[in-house]
């Protein structure tokens, strides 16, 4: 499946888009003029890279003000501190508490905060420029650990186009983040067709406030992402902005037939076409994707590399296979498979869900190479299916 998202219904015209933005609900924005110019540059950069081929999504990125969703964010590591203007507070292993910033205890990464109301004009300018850089932004860090972020805009654009939305579709977003992605969806589809969900009430409250400041009011719900949101079901599309180890059954149960689920899994993006509440299947997109795990789902499985030469580990396609087969295949077996099958790219892999059983596969869901999703099992390829499996 390509990242352009395939065919869609006709995009809304300019009058519809203006009506959807609800400008009367926005706060006064002293950065509006400069932000518009920066946003234009960001969109131009994404288009030059092959993204935003759908005019409706291009309009959303041109018109939704990202800086309203990131009133502050964090830059990681020593490079951020070195590049910061004089007087910028940073959090190091020893001085985090005194700085009042994010900790970097026990040798973990330290962070520098940039924020919209900084009294220093150079730091404010750096904050605004960063809000419109084509880069992910760390927006919430706790005890030196990244909790939420605003994804790289070009990746967001590819994901939204791959979602293949049509006018009138109802969309559930798993992982509210800053609310920016929900705003892009609401710009395209209208507030009433978008629900965004997150486990953390602080995150949903902040997202709700950011959305209101930008003039959008989709449903913002606090709840467990793995359980979905039955209140506003059924959905035509589900998009997750956090990684899962397997596909939650509740998501399929809240989808209409022929719905599409797009979620990060094993450092990739899987696009699943839903047949019914127990069956779905689809391929990975060609692009890599690294997201924080769905909260409450536990850490991802360890990816072993023992016994491997260094050169294959530099290849993204081999590292992807290691992640797909983590816990179910020895690293040296994975290397032999990868070389024998011609170093397959991500798009040759897929996922099938059949009732309680779900697995990732290479080339063919019924073929020789498949690996169960979920907790680690036996350290060998999951080969074949029993006849009459549900």
Tens-digit pLDDT profile for residues 81-113: 444 444 443 333 222 222 223 333 333 457 789
pLDDT value, residue 95: 26
d(CA 298, CA 315): 27
Burial status of residue 131 (CB atoms within 10 A of its CB: 0-12, 13-18, 19 or more): buried
d(CA 148, CA 164): 25
Residues in the chain, total = 390
Residues marked active site are found at 151
Q: Do residues 350 and 270 lie in contact, with contact meaning Cβ atoms separated by under 8 Å? A: yes
pLDDT value, residue 233: 97
Taking the alpha carbons at both ends of the chain, their separation in whole angstroms is 26
For residue 250, count other CB atoms closer than 10 A to its CB. Answer: 17
pLDDT value, residue 388: 37
Tens-digit pLDDT profile for residues 276-302: 999 999 999 999 998 888 876 666 667
- Angle at the Cα of 344 from the Cα atoms of 340 and 345, rounded to 5 degrees: 165
Beta bridge partners of 173: 196, 239
Residue 267: name the closest of 286, 247, 251 by CA.
286
- The pTM score is 0.83
d(CA 242, CA 258): 23
Number of H helices, E strands in the chain: 13, 14
DSSP summary character for residue 355: T
pLDDT in tens, the chain (390 residues): 333 333 333 344 444 444 444 444 445 688 999 999 999 999 999 999 999 999 999 999 999 999 999 999 998 764 444 444 444 433 332 222 222 233 333 334 577 899 999 999 999 999 999 999 999 999 988 777 777 889 999 999 999 999 999 999 999 999 999 999 999 999 999 999 999 999 999 999 999 999 999 999 999 999 999 999 999 999 999 999 999 999 999 999 999 999 999 999 999 999 999 999 999 999 999 999 988 888 766 666 678 788 899 999 999 999 999 999 988 889 999 999 999 999 999 999 999 999 999 999 999 999 999 999 975 444 444 443 333 334
> In this structure, what token pair is assigned to residue 270?
């899987």
> In this structure, what token pair is assigned to residue 117?
């109301």
Q: Do residues 242 and 294 lie in contact, with contact meaning Cβ atoms separated by under 8 Å? A: yes
Using DSSP's 3-state secondary structure scheme, residue 269 falls into strand
> In this structure, what token pair is assigned to residue 372?
């169960």
DSSP summary character for residue 308: -
């Amino acid at each position: 499946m390509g990242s352009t998202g395939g065919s869609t219904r006709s995009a809304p015209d300019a009058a519809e888009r203006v009506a959807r933005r609800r400008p009367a609900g926005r706060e006064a924005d002293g950065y509006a003029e400069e932000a518009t110019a920066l946003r234009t540059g960001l969109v131009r950069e994404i288009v030059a890279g092959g993204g935003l081929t759908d005019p409706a999504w291009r309009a959303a990125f041109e018109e939704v003000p990202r800086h309203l969703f990131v009133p502050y964010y964090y830059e990681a590591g020593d490079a951020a501190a070195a590049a910061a203007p004089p007087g910028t507070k940073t959090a190091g292993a020893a001085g985090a508490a005194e700085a009042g910033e994010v900790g970097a205890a026990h040798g973990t990464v330290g962070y520098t905060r940039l924020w919209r109301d900084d009294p220093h004009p150079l730091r404010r300018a750096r904050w605004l420029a960063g809000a419109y850089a084509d880069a992910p932004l760390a927006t919430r860090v706790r005890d030196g650990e990244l909790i939420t972020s605003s994804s790289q805009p070009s990746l967001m654009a590819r994901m939204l186009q791959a979602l293949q939305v049509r006018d009138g579709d109802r969309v559930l977003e798993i992982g509210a983040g800053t609310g920016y992605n929900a705003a892009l969806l609401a710009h395209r589809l209208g507030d009433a067709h978008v629900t965004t969900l997150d486990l953390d009430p602080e995150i949903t409250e902040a997202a709700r406030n950011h959305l209101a400041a930008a003039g959008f009011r989709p449903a913002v719900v606090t709840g467990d992402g793995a359980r979905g949101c039955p209140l506003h079901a059924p959905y035509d599309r589900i998009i997750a902005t956090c990684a899962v180890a397997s596909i939650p059954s509740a998501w399929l149960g809240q989808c209409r037939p022929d719905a599409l689920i797009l979620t990060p899994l094993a450092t990739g993006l899987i696009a699943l076409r839903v047949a019914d509440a127990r069956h779905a299947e689809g391929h990975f997109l060609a692009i890599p994707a690294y997201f924080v795990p769905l909260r409450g789902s536990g850490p991802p499985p360890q990816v072993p590399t023992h016994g491997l030469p260094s050169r294959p580990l530099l290849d993204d396609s081999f590292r992807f296979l290691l992640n797909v087969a983590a816990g179910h295949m020895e690293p040296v077996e994975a290397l032999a498979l990868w070389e024998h099958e011609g170093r397959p790219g991500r798009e040759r892999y897929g996922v099938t869900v059949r009732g309680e059983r779900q697995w990732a596969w290479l080339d063919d869901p019924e073929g020789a190479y498949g690996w169960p999703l979920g907790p680690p099992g036996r350290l060998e390829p999951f080969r074949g299916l029993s006849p009459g499996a549900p």
